[in-house]
Structure 1
Amino acid sequence: MQRYALLLSMLLFSQSALADGGGTSPATVELSNLLPPPPAAGSIAARHDLQVVLSTQHTRTAADMAAAKADADRSVFRFADVFGTPFQASALPKTAAFFTRTAELDKASVKEAKEYWQRPRPSLVSSQVHPLSKEKANDWSYPSGHSTFGYTTAVLLANMVPEQRAAIFARADVYAEHRIVMGVHFPSDVEAGRVAGTVIADDILRDTGYQADYQAARAELRHALGLPADPVTPASSVPAATAVH
């Protein structure tokens, strides 16, 4: 966790330092320039990665597999169990459109990174791995695209509805871990997706080209959930005045 926090802070600082003030929407976020490389083949870290996949495969239940297969759907509406019945595409067209646009940036950014590192999927590394889905040829493993999307989505949703921040990120964790349950990603792929998704979301939140769509989706979602236009800051979270001596 400390490694993740340190890495993420460095990446976000790099994004800020490289930013030119916004105003244009990037076609991709160049993750290959930001993420560390995946564990080298044959390294201790790579062997540990594989062992986690095999251990998860051995212990996964029918319910685990069904839930993981359902989460193969790359959609913001997989977070419906956080928000309840109002959170559905038919009722939230602006929200759906915004996250469709987000998914396109995510997918393009991850594709560039996957092509750069070309890490084989777990089933290509070991015949002992029995994935629950067949991935496309040359669709590489690092970073996890689903995990990236899950965390990009979580950061954006948490900024829209900070009242549900803890539940949103807990759901993103499950969504990402399901890629290991599926047997299609290593833990380090998922960790890289967590960092990548956070960086992409930060980029979106800073980019003026996304602001109109973001604000429209935020207003629509908060209204549908019966929340005030702006979250109320709890009194306990307001810093007390500093005494002057």
Structure 2
Amino acid sequence: MMMARTLHAAGLGTMAGFLLAGATVVAADGPPAMTSPVNTLLAQGYLAREALPDSLSILPAPPAEGSAALARDREASKAGLALGKSARWALATADADLRSPAATGAFSCAAGFEISPQATPAIDRLMRRSLPDLGLATYGVKERYKRARPFMENGEANCSPDYTEMLRKDGSYPSGHSAIGFGWGLMLAEVVPDRAARLVARGVAFGDSRRICNVHWLSDVEQGRLMGAAVVARLHADPGFQADLQAAKAEAAAARSTAPSRNCTQEEAALAPQP
């Protein structure tokens, strides 16, 4: 079956849009062909769809109207909006673009060396191949509740304007980006264990970028982390993932001498706790 038909039948909305954009889909059971050698977002994940952790069995319903949890979500949203078009907003905008060849580089400063398709192909492969597993595992709950996103309630701008209409049709809870970011942080903590705390923290921040972007509520982000952790736990039983994880570890040892190309001082300032 064509992957496009499979995704449509499963109602995978925005994540399908992010994954399908810029790619050529062919009729096959394996990975589709892609128009760019660096755009691996449509590559086959490690897990079959039926092997993904079931979000409906793991996550609760989103916060109900009138609940303390929803009030907390709204306060956190206001705090994000108060940052305005700051350095943190700029970083959140960069984190939003999963299609970019530079997407995996978001973890370069936390790792202490350059992560990219060119500099660290094994690490990049581990991250990109796990992306569909991490993102698509959230869709059972997304489709069940179809929660409206913050920008739909507050009328303010978001940092992915090209995807606004797609986002409107896609459930906010939980955040697929948060699952991806946190999952990547956990994987990289194994690849570079002496920098585990920084890498996991960057995974947390990668997800929180969605709150800063005004496209997800805080509870969306938090429950996305839970799904990311569940997927990583499941991936450890997959031989292909284990092989790629070992290759990434071997590559990291040689990559430690390659400084990140991004401005890590600027990134650290953007991620510093707000007063």
TM-score normalised by the chain length of structure 2: 0.67
Q: For residues 206-228 of structure 1, what are the alpha-carbon distances to aligned partners after superposition, in whole Å with 9 as ceiling and x for unaligned?
A: 323421222222222232226xx
Q: Count how many residue pairs are aligned between Structure 1 and Structure 2.
A: 202
- CA separation in 2, counterparts of 1:79 and 1:205? 21
Find the partner of 2:126 among 95, 98, 105. 98
Query: 2:197 maps to which residue?
Result: 166
Find the partner of 1:200 among 231, 234, 237. 231
Q: Which amino acid aligns with 1:87?
A: I
1:133 and 2:160 matched: yes
- CA separation in 1, counterparts of 2:110 and 2:194? 11
RMSD over aligned CA atoms reads 2.0
Identity %: 32
Q: Which amino acid aligns with 1:73?
A: D
Query: 1:176 maps to which residue?
Result: 207
Q: Which amino acid aligns with 1:207?
A: D
Find the partner of 1:119 among 147, 152, 158. 147
Q: Is the 8 A contact 2:182 2:225 kept in 1?
A: yes
- Aligned in 2, Cα 1:139/1:71: closer, same or farther, shift over 3 Å? same
Find the partner of 1:25 among 26, 31, 47. 47
Moved over 6 A (4+): none
- CA separation in 2, counterparts of 1:72 and 1:195? 19
Q: Which amino acid aligns with 2:247?
A: A
Query: Residue 159 of structure 2: SS of its match in structure 1?
Result: coil
1:55 and 2:55 matched: no
- CA separation in 2, counterparts of 1:183 and 1:158? 28
Q: Which amino acid aligns with 2:63?
A: P
- CA separation in 1, counterparts of 2:209 and 2:47? 31
Q: Is the 8 A contact 1:160 1:222 kept in 2?
A: no
- CA separation in 1, counterparts of 2:179 and 2:136? 11
- CA separation in 2, counterparts of 1:84 and 1:209? 26
Query: 2:94 maps to which residue?
Result: 70
Larger radius of gyration: 1
1:152 and 2:152 matched: no
Query: Residue 36 of structure 1: SS of its match in structure 2?
Result: coil
- CA separation in 2, counterparts of 1:58 and 1:87? 32
Shift in Å, 1:122: 1.0
Shift in Å, 1:61: 4.7
Gaps of 5+ in 2: 1-45, 258-275
Q: Is the 8 A contact 2:183 2:229 kept in 1?
A: yes
- CA separation in 1, counterparts of 2:55 and 2:88? 30
Q: Is the 8 A contact 1:115 1:140 kept in 2?
A: yes
Bigger shift: 110-119 or 190-199?
A: 110-119
Which aligned pairs between 1:162-241 and structure 2 lie closer than 5 A? 162-225=193-256
Q: Which amino acid aligns with 1:25?
A: L
Query: Residue 87 of structure 1: SS of its match in structure 2?
Result: coil
Find the partner of 2:117 among 67, 81, 89. 89
Query: 1:11 maps to which residue?
Result: none
Shift in Å, 1:126: 3.3
Q: Is the 8 A contact 1:25 1:210 kept in 2?
A: no
